[in-house]
Amino acid sequence: MVPVVFPDSTSLWLFSLAGLALLLIPGPAVLYIVVQSAEQGRRVGLASVAGVHLGTLVHVGAAAVGLSALVLASEVAFNVVKYAGAAYLVLLGVRKLLNRDPDAAVEQRRGPLRQALLRGAVVNVLNPKTALFFLAFLPQFVDASRGSVWSQVMVLGLVFVCLGAITDSLYALAAGTVAGALRRKRTLLRSGSGAVFIGLGAVAALAKRT
């Protein structure tokens, strides 16, 4: 049985502080969550948070076993993941812009939250920049001399996921609360969210490996 090795306490605290500082700066994932929460309510926003961080767990596991390094080392594999994610975001945006049913948002909020969770997971899994982030950030806090590098990466990744779930949930709750007063302006919210998704898709398509 391969022993599980934890990072030393100093590295763990430094990583937690650095990770929290990065998470408090809104990025594409936060923007996605805020849009979902603003348009469809806090429950959908929180389901999106759960989905995004399920996707993060996939990247953490891939980084631990070295799969992320293989994807990022191959330009073809990187581009396949990149353009698939970009196309998915653009598709979501176009569907929102073309949806003229004023009751669609209400019905979607009443429906199961599984769709929001799955969308969040897909959006983050198909973001090669997340893989690049973990490969560039996590190794700085791993001590190879302690042994079992993969388990140290997993521990740090899980800490990051927990911190991210907390900060992103706060964004979702805030966006859902503020948007409650704007709920009657569904057309404006839907058009705005559609434009945001298309913009995120364009940003994803322009992502570079370095």
Q: Which domain holds residue 193?
A: 28-205
Give the model's confidence band at 55: pLDDT under 50 very low, under 70 low, under 90 confident, else very high. Answer: very high
Give the model's confidence band at 47: pLDDT under 50 very low, under 70 low, under 90 confident, else very high. Answer: very high
Whether 149 maps to a domain, the answer reads yes
Whether 125 maps to a domain, the answer reads yes
- The mean pLDDT of 132-156, rounded to a whole number, is 78
Whether 12 maps to a domain, the answer reads no
For residue 1, what pLDDT is reported? 55
Whether 18 maps to a domain, the answer reads no
Structure tokens at 73: 């080392």
Residue 103 pLDDT > 50, yes or no?
no
The torsion region of residue 38 among left (phi > 0), alpha (psi -120 to 50) and beta comes to: alpha
Residue 162 pLDDT > 90, yes or no?
yes
Structural contact between residues 198 and 93, judged by C-beta atoms closer than 8 angstroms = yes
- Angstrom CA distances, 100 to 176, 182, 186, stand at 22, 18, 10
Q: What is the pTM of this model?
A: 0.73
Within 10 A of 21 (CB to CB), how many other CB atoms are there? 9
Whether 175 maps to a domain, the answer reads yes
Whether 197 maps to a domain, the answer reads yes
Whether 130 maps to a domain, the answer reads yes
Query: How many structural domains comprise the chain?
Result: 1
Summarize pLDDT for 144-155 with one digit per residue, the tens.
777 777 788 888
Whether 13 maps to a domain, the answer reads no
- The mean pLDDT of 130-149, rounded to a whole number, is 76
